[in-house]
Amino acid sequence: MVDYRSMWTDLDLDLEKHDMLLQVLPSMYESTFLGQENRPEAMEYFDFVVGEIHGLRLKELMDHKASGGKVIGLYCVFVPEDLIMAAGAIPVGLCAGTQFSVPDAEEVLPRNTCALIKSSFGFKLGRTCPYVQASDLLIGETTCDGKKKMYEILAQYHPTYVMEVPQKKTPLGRELFLEELRGLKAKLEAESGVAITAERLAEATAVVEAKRRALQRLHDIRRARPVPISGLDALLVTQVSFYDDSVRFAEKVNALCEELEGRTARGEGAAPADASRILVSGSPMAIPNWKLHRILEDSGALVVGEESCTGTRYFSYLVAESDGSLDAQLGAIADRQLDTHCACFTPNDERIEDILTLARDWAVDGVVHYNLQFCHTFANEAVKVEKALAEENIPFLRIESDYSDEDMGQLKTRVDAFLEMIR
């Protein structure tokens, strides 16, 4: 086994705490994923990438830095990866999904803050995430209030740049966002010393969109009955997309899709054809947040889709054709990003439409709305989601949770009762 300790030391990780994190993750992964029956063979790659999350992939980033490139950390799908890549930098999604770093964050942030914000901030404060440590710059965004105020504090610990995201998708909002993209471009050029040209940006967009297309293909495969892949595995694939090499990742997802298409042709499923089909909607599930999917699938249901930023909100949108000039490409990227129907927008009726479309087209038996505790945007929007689903007679369950294991029993009881009702 390769020893990465000197790399971690160079990154100024708190090695003692980091060791504790590395002790927790493998057993958690093993019990969640490796016990699933009849997993697709192509999932081996994703098992490997997760196994090397603090090893080989990090080494690739460090090699990139050693050859003069930059690593840029981000926390939201609103920050366009292609713009970062066009500056010769590697983007890494940093949204954190573990309770491990929450106590560190609570030494500074109020406890009644969303777990996703606390987890990401705690990783910096505790120096336990090598990706944050490796990032030359962190890019935040003005989505929810909790995040934008956290970034102000984060900036005291790590170079941080915040881009503004409008609250309304009006022509004025688009203008503002486009101007923000121009500002981000200038910041990335200054950071990397690389001029972002129309050619470089077009190339980077093609890479990002090949990755999105591969994820769309996987998402489409999940319409089949029986579904050839578990929701847990499909969620994992999307989570890995935020930090793996984009070109290699797209290849591996397409290889997985080929295997799954073969399974579907043979009528093979990850669960019996009559398993309850569930759409999960709401707050993103950053790696290693597998809690809800695990409860649902342990209870005999199958998750067939995620209306989430670790799901359709990440990969559904592509840029429209443009005249190829730099400004036209930036405009097309602005439009693509503004298609992301995050609950931070008002109004956000397109998200309700998306949920209804997914529920119909993926033939779901019920929708589980997942809300991170203290996330007010998704919690309030759930009221409208529930009403719209009720009008279509689609069963709905609202779950609010954090990253701790304390509510596992209670959640399981509620999920079991919901599945019983659906059946």
Helix (H) or strand (E) holding 390: helix 376-391
Phi, psi angle pair for 141, to nearest 5°: -150, 155
> In whole angstroms, how close is the CB of 151 to ligand BJ8 at the nearest point?
11
Interface with ligand BJ8 includes 368 (CB under 6 A)?
A: no
Tell which one of 43, 53, 71, 77 touches ligand BJ8 (CB under 6 A). 77
Q: Which stretch binds ligand BJ8 (CB under 6 A): 125-133, 258-266, 338-346, 350-358?
A: 338-346
Q: Which of 33, 78, 100, 123 contacts ligand BJ8 by CB under 6 A?
A: 78
Task: Please tell me whether residue 76 binds ligand BJ8 under the rule CB under 6 A.
Answer: yes
Contact of 34 with 156, CB cutoff 8 Å: no
State the Cα–Cα distance between residues 350 and 379, nearest whole angstrom. 17
Q: Which residues contact 45 (CB under 8 A, 6 or more apart)?
A: 252, 255, 256
Residue 138: strand pairing partners: 73, 160
Report the distance separating Cα 244 and Cα 423, nearest Å: 39
Enumerate residues 272-311 that contact ligand BJ8 by CB under 6 A.
Answer: 283-284, 309
Q: Which is nearer to ligand BJ8, 192 or 371 (CB)?
A: 371
SS3 track for 66-121: HCCCCEEEECCCCCCHHHHHHCCCEEEECCCCCHHHHHHHHCCCCCCCCHHHHHHH
Whichever of 109 and 372 has its CB closer to ligand BJ8, that residue is 372
Considering the complex, what minimum distance in angstroms separates the CB of residue 227 from ligand BJ8?
A: 25
Q: Whole-angstrom Cα distance, residue 341 to residue 357?
A: 14
340 scored as a contact of ligand BJ8 (CB under 6 A): yes
Stretch of 53-61, 226-234, 339-347, 399-407 contacting ligand BJ8, by CB under 6 A: 339-347
Task: Report in angstroms how near the CB of residue 75 gets to ligand BJ8 at its nearest.
Answer: 7
Site string for ligand BJ8, 127-166 (x = CB under 6 A): ----------------xx-xx-------------------
247 CB neighbour count, 10 Å cutoff: 11
Name which of 276 and 401 has its Cβ closer to ligand BJ8.
401
For ligand BJ8, which is the closer residue by CB, 43 or 344?
A: 344
Nearest residue (CB) to ligand BJ8, 113 versus 276: 113
224 binds ligand BJ8 (CB under 6 A): no
- The distance of closest approach from Cβ of residue 359 to ligand BJ8 in the complex, given in angstroms and rounded to an integer, is 19
Residues 108-127 that bind ligand BJ8 (CB under 6 A): 114, 116-117
Supply the minimum distance, in Å, between the C-beta of residue 89 and ligand BJ8. Answer: 20
Q: How far apart are CA 388 and CA 241, in angstroms?
A: 31
DSSP-derived 3-state class of residue 282: strand
Residue 372, interface with ligand BJ8 (CB under 6 A)? yes
Contact residue for ligand BJ8 among 317, 378, 403, 418 (CB under 6 A): 378
Alpha-carbon separation of residue 251 from 106, 255, 288 (angstroms): 40, 6, 23
Question: From the list 196, 234, 342, 411, which residue makes contact with ligand BJ8 (rule: CB under 6 A)?
Answer: 342
Is 74 an interacting residue with respect to ligand BJ8 (CB under 6 A)? no
Minimum distance, C-beta of residue 99 to ligand BJ8, in the bound complex (Å): 15
CA 336 from centroid of its chain's CA atoms: 17
Q: Does 344 bind ligand BJ8 (CB under 6 A)?
A: yes
264 binds ligand BJ8 (CB under 6 A): no
- How many residues touch ligand BJ8 under the rule CB under 6 A: the total is 21
DSSP labels for 143-197? SSHHHHHHHHHHTTTS-EEEE---SS-SHHHHHHHHHHHHHHHHHHHHHH-----
> Among 180, 261, 191, which Cα is nearest to 222's?
261
Rg (C-alpha) for the chain, rounded Å, is: 21
| 246 touching ligand BJ8, by CB under 6 A | no
Ramachandran category for residue 146: left, alpha or beta (phi over 0 → left; psi -120 to 50 → alpha): alpha
Spatial distance between the Cα atoms of 365 and 273, rounded to a whole number of angstroms: 13
From 264, 318, 291, 86, select the one nearest 185 (Cα to Cα): 86
CB of 32 to ligand BJ8, least distance (A): 21
Binding stretches for ligand BJ8 (CB under 6 A): 76-78, 114, 116-117, 143-144, 146-147, 283-284, 309, 313, 340, 342, 344, 372, 375, 377-378
